[in-house]
Amino acid sequence: MTHFEIGDGLIAEENGKGKAWLDEDYEHLGRVLRRRGLEIEDLVKRAQAFRVAVPSWGLGTGGTRFARFPGPGEPRDIFEKLEDCGTVFKLVRSTPAVSLHIPWDKPESAAELRRFADQRGLHFDAMNSNTFQDQADQKQSYKFGSLTHPDRDVREQAIAHNVECIEIGRTLGSKAHTVWIGDGGNFPGQMHFRRALDRYLDSMRAIYAALPDDWRVFMEHKLYEPAFYSTVINDWGVNYHCARELGPKALCLVDLGHHAPNVNIEMIVARLIQFGKLAGFHFNDSKYGDDDLDAGSIKPFQLFLIFNELVDAERDAVKGFHPAYMLDQSHNVTDPAESLMVSAVELLRANVQAHLVDREALRDAQEKCDALMALGTLKQAFTTDVAPILAMARERSGGAIDPVGTFRASGYRARKAEERPARAGVAAGIV
């Protein structure tokens, strides 16, 4: 059976419909930015170089504990997920890397999977372990924890799983391993806070020791869920402490949905940058809890302020600053491929806007305690419509001026519905 793919011809045809207007808008924005001493061509080049990894678990429809409503043409295995990743990359041009989750994406042959990805211009970003679910053939249950479980056999099993993820990642060409554990308690007294943290560090030392020299381990903190009273790695403070304890390859990953409401995440980012312990991000957005909504869909100004800290650090050439950018979302009511394309565009929008900030004027206002001018300097950048730069970067990189419009015009999902009759019990998205 042939597998339908969106051809360059269709992309060119669709781009032809919007190119004249894009050139007009681009010309105008170029003049506006030149008045601010900015060269639009430099910004397009920077935009063409921007990269963000997509989560393999984001290619299928996600759900909640109440329900999951899968759509037509869902990917049924890791190869079909990579097909869709290839399509997203073809249209937005900024997502050549895929982050895998083991065992959800455990390949029979890692070499075959690497070839399949390579044929689509894809490579593998950070691996992700899973000690928050029990697998059918598992000896020890993670019901009461994994790396911090009181029972050494459970901890050993969890450590071995993480080491296996690293081994699979080596064959796939990945260079980082992400550890998020849901370990915690639902009731006061259920867990001894200090002993649990000691166990976490012991287990992480064993995982750290299994890292190849050129790898990094990303530790992800989360305020709550699945535990609802205490979570062992609940905030950036304990995460930072552990990263320091473990060594230079251990860094702190910031998932935007893993903080209490109204926490100043951009300041946490600035702290982790200053301490040389920022691993990178799981970008998404949220209104209440860990909602895993599309990046920039709820709090676009917060996303801009986070990129403002990142661009500021980049400009200051802060030592050891190599943040990994990944999306981590659950697409419950949208086409997953469309949400990933739009989210990748929103990250790039925030990044380009952050490069518009007049940093001399900002520093001057900050040093003069001119709060209004400082905020105004940021707002000028945030309120600049950089869409022509984003579209021109895609178009010049062989992508689509209108990714979602081109995706829909191609009939891709309907074609995949024909190619991918649903298989019972197969869920590609997070539930």
**How far apart are alpha carbons 33 and 40 in whole angstroms?**
7
Q: Rule CB under 5 A: is residue 292 a binding residue for Mn ion? A: no
Instruction: Build a one-symbol-per-residue string for 18-57: x at contacts with ligand LRH by CB under 6 A, - elsewhere.
Output: ---------------------------------------x
Q: Rule CB under 6 A: is residue 255 a binding residue for ligand LRH? A: yes
**How far apart are alpha carbons 97 and 105 in whole angstroms?**
15
78 neighbors 30 (Cβ within 8 angstroms): no
| Chain position whose Cβ is nearest to Mn ion | 282
Q: Rule CB under 6 A: is residue 430 a binding residue for ligand LRH? A: yes
Q: Burial letters for 328-348: b for 16+ Cβ neighbours within 10 Å, e otherwise?
A: bbbbbebbbbbbbbbbbbbbb
Tokens representing residue 204 in the block: 């992480």
Nearest residue to 407 (alpha-carbon basis) of 337, 331, 336: 337
Q: From the list 180, 236, 382, 412, which residue makes contact with ligand LRH (rule: CB under 6 A)?
A: 180
Site for ligand LRH, residues 282 to 311, rule: CB under 6 A: 282, 290
Nearest residue to 284 (alpha-carbon basis) of 252, 308, 312, 306: 306
Under 8 Å CB-to-CB from 9, ≥6 apart: which residues?
A: none
Segment near Mn ion (CB under 5 A), from 57-65, 232-240, 282-290, 350-358?
282-290
**Helix 78-92 and helix 403-410: axis angle, to 10°?**
130
Q: From the list 83, 125, 255, 285, which residue makes contact with Mn ion (rule: CB under 5 A)?
A: 255
Residue count of the chain, please give it: 431
H/E stretch holding 324: strand 324-327
Which of ligand LRH, Mn ion, none does residue 128 bind (CB under 5 to 8 Å by kind)?
Answer: ligand LRH
Nearer CB in complex with ligand LRH: 93/282: 282
Cβ burial, residue 179 (10 Å; 0-12/13-18/19+) = buried
Q: Rule CB under 6 A: is residue 220 a binding residue for ligand LRH? A: yes
Nearest-approach distance from CB 175 to ligand LRH, in angstroms:
18
Nearest-approach distance from CB 220 to ligand LRH, in angstroms:
5
Nearest-approach distance from CB 263 to ligand LRH, in angstroms:
16
Q: Rule CB under 6 A: is residue 328 a binding residue for ligand LRH? A: yes
Q: Rule CB under 6 A: is residue 142 a binding residue for ligand LRH? A: no
Binding site for ligand LRH (CB under 6 A): 57, 128, 180, 220, 222, 255, 282, 290, 328, 430
